[in-house]
Amino acid sequence: MKPFKIFLVEDDPFFGETLKYHLKLNPDFEVLLFQTGKECLDNLFQNPNIICLDFGLPDITGDLLLKKIHQINNKIPIIVISGQEEIEVAVDFLKSGAKDYIVKNTYTKELLWNSIIKIRENLSLIDEVEELKEKLEQKFSFEKTILGQSEAIKAVLNKINKSLSTNINVSITGETGTGKEMVAKAIHYNSDRKYKPFIALNMAAIPKELIESEFFGHEKGAFTGADQRLIGKFEQADGGTIFLDEIAELDLNLQSKLLRALQEREVTRLGGKGVIKFNARLIIATHKNLKEEVKKGAFREDLYYRIVGLPIELPPLRERGRDVLLLSKHFIDLFTKENKLKTISISKEAKDKLLKHKFPGNIRELKSIIDLACVMCENNEISAEDLTFDSINNNTDFFLSEDKTLKEFTAEIILYYLKKNNEDVVKTAKQLDIGKSTIYNLIQSSQTKKKDLNENSYNFI
C-alpha cells in the first residue's frame, strides 16, 4: 500500500519534531518536516497528500505560502496551524482554500491527527468515485459494449452517436435478447448526463396497479399499504435518464398520465398536492411494432409521437453474419476471466455450427450457449458437440413442421418477411431476391381469399 505522504512546515524544531513523532505512530503515514516555506515549495514535486503549515514562518507568511502552493497544485489539501486565535484569521484562511485551521495549544496533536484522518477518508472517497466513474465509462464505451463489424450494427452505432449531441428521446426496437437495455445504458453513459442517475423500469414486470406509484411516487397513507413516502422513478431520474422497457405493455389509462407528465415535465405523487418538476431524458424500448399497436388501438397515437424521437432498430443476431463469432469470443473471455479458467478456443466445426444457427433468442441465447460450452469443453477447446441449441422458439426446422406444397411454403416465407419488414414490399423483395410483382400478386391473392372467407362465414349466419 502506498504511504500517505504528509508535509509538515514548522520553524520551531521542537514543536515540529513533536508533531512528526506523533503522526508517525500511524505506520501508513510518511512525514517530511521542513522549517521554511521555500523548502516546502522546492519539494512539491514529491506530490504530498496533505500539507500542514505554520502561519508564521521566517521567510514567508502562511497566507502567501498557501497561495503559492495552490498556484502549483490546487488539489493538495492544506491545514494551517497558528498561534493566533482570532476567528477572522481562521475564516480568511478557510475562504482562501485551507481545509482546516488549528490553534497551537495542548490539544494540537490530537486535533491535527483527527483532521488528517478525516481529510484522508474524504480523499479516499473522491478517489473511489473517480475510479468508479472511469470503470463505468470503460464498461459502457461503444467499443466494449456494442460489439460487431457487420453493416447492420454499424448503422446502429451511427444512430447512437447521433443521439449523443442532443437530449432527443430515443426509441429502441428489436427482438427479445438483442440488447436494448445495453444500448440505452451506452447512450446514457456516453452523454453529458453520465454522472446522473440511470433509472430503468420494465412495464411487463410490474403489476398494473403499482405502475402509477412507481412512475410518480406516493405520500404516506395515499392508499392501503402506503406506510411511508415513496419517491417515484421520474423524480429519481432528475438530471439523468429514465429507461422505460417494454413500453407497449403500458395500460391505456396510464399512457394518458405518462403523456401528461412528459408534456408538462412534472409529476405529482399519489396522495400529494405539490407539483414536482423533473428533467430527465427518456429512452423507451419494445419488441413490438408500436405503429401496429397504434393501428390496433392498443397504444395512444399522441403518446407515440411524443416518445418516438430518434428510432434505433436493433438487428437480430441471425442478420449480423460473422458478428456471432466475435461475440462468442467476447463471452468466452468474460466467462474464463470470471471463473479464473485458462484460455478457451473454438474449433472450426463449432464456428461453422454457430454461423448456421438462427438464434431466436439472439445475444442472450448466444451467451447462454457459450457459457455452457465453456463448462462442457475438453482440452480448453469448444467443439461442435459442446454447443447445445435448446431454443424455446427455434425456427431452424420451422418450415418442415407441416406437409405443404412448395408454393404454400413460398407464400409463407414471403408473408413472414413482409410482416417482419412492416409491410415494406421493396425491402422484402430485395431481401428475398424476388420481383415486387410476385409480392403484390400474393397480397392480392391473400386479400381475395380473406374476403371469400368472410362472405362464406356471413352466409352461415
Strand partners, 347: none
Contacts 24+ apart (CB under 8 A), 326-333: 326/147, 326/148, 326/149, 327/147, 327/148, 327/363, 327/366, 328/354, 328/366, 328/370, 330/147, 331/366, 331/367, 331/370, 331/371, 332/370, 332/374, 332/382
CB atoms within 10 A of CB 302: 12
Three-class SS state of 461: coil
Q: What share of the chain is helix, strand, coil (3-state, %, to 5)?
A: 50, 15, 35
pLDDT at position 225: 82
Ordered mean pLDDT values, 10 residues apiece, the chain (461 residues): 88 91 91 93 92 89 88 90 78 85 88 91 78 60 77 93 94 94 92 91 90 92 86 94 96 94 94 92 96 94 96 95 95 92 95 93 94 92 90 47 66 80 85 84 72 42 27
Strand partners, 202: 245
Q: Using H for helix, E for strand and C for coil, what is the string for 349-417?
A: HHHHHHHHCCCCCHHHHHHHHHHHHHHHCECCEECHHHCCCCCCCCCCCHHHCCCCCHHHHHHHHHHHH
63-100 pLDDT, tens digit each = 889 889 989 988 899 999 888 777 777 787 888 888 89
pLDDT at position 419: 79
Exposure class string for 152-184: b at 16+ Cβ within 10 A, else e: bbeebbebbeebeeebebbbbbbbebbbbeebb
Q: Do residues 283 and 243 touch, judged by C-beta distance below 8 A?
A: yes
Residue 281 belongs to what H/E stretch?
strand 281-286
- For 110, phi and psi rounded to 5 degrees? -70, -40
Nearest to 303 by CA among 288, 315, 293: 293
pLDDT at position 263: 95
Report the alpha-carbon distance of residue 46 to residue 6 in Å, rounded. Answer: 10
pLDDT at position 404: 63
262-300 pLDDT, tens digit each = 999 999 999 998 899 999 999 999 999 999 999 999 999
pLDDT at position 144: 66
Residue 81's contacts (CB-CB under 8 Å, 6 or more residues apart) are: 10, 52, 53, 54, 55, 102, 103, 104, 108, 112
Strand partners, 101: 80
Residue 243 belongs to what H/E stretch?
strand 241-245
Nearest to 393 by CA among 318, 285, 295: 318
Residue 189's contacts (CB-CB under 8 Å, 6 or more residues apart) are: 136, 137, 139, 140, 198
Domains in the chain and their CATH numbers? 4-135 (3.40.50.2300), 141-313 (3.40.50.300), 317-386 (1.10.8.60), 399-460 (no CATH)
Task: Report angle CA 28, 14, 94 to the nearest 5 degrees.
Answer: 65
How much is the CA Rg of the chain, to the nearest whole Å? 33
Report the alpha-carbon distance of residue 79 to residue 358 in Å, rounded. Answer: 66
140-194 pLDDT, tens digit each = 666 667 889 999 999 999 999 999 989 999 999 999 999 999 999 999 988 999 8
DSSP 316: P
Residue 131's contacts (CB-CB under 8 Å, 6 or more residues apart) are: none
Residue 85's contacts (CB-CB under 8 Å, 6 or more residues apart) are: 103
Total residues belonging to the chain: 461
Nearest to 306 by CA among 284, 277, 276, 287: 284
Report field, pTM of the whole predicted structure over 0.75: no
pLDDT at position 418: 83
Q: Which three cell numbers stand for residue 189?
A: 453513459
Calculate the CA dihedral of residues 32, 36, 37, 41 and round it to 10 degrees.
-50
pLDDT at position 457: 39
Residue 7 belongs to what H/E stretch?
strand 4-9
pLDDT at position 270: 93
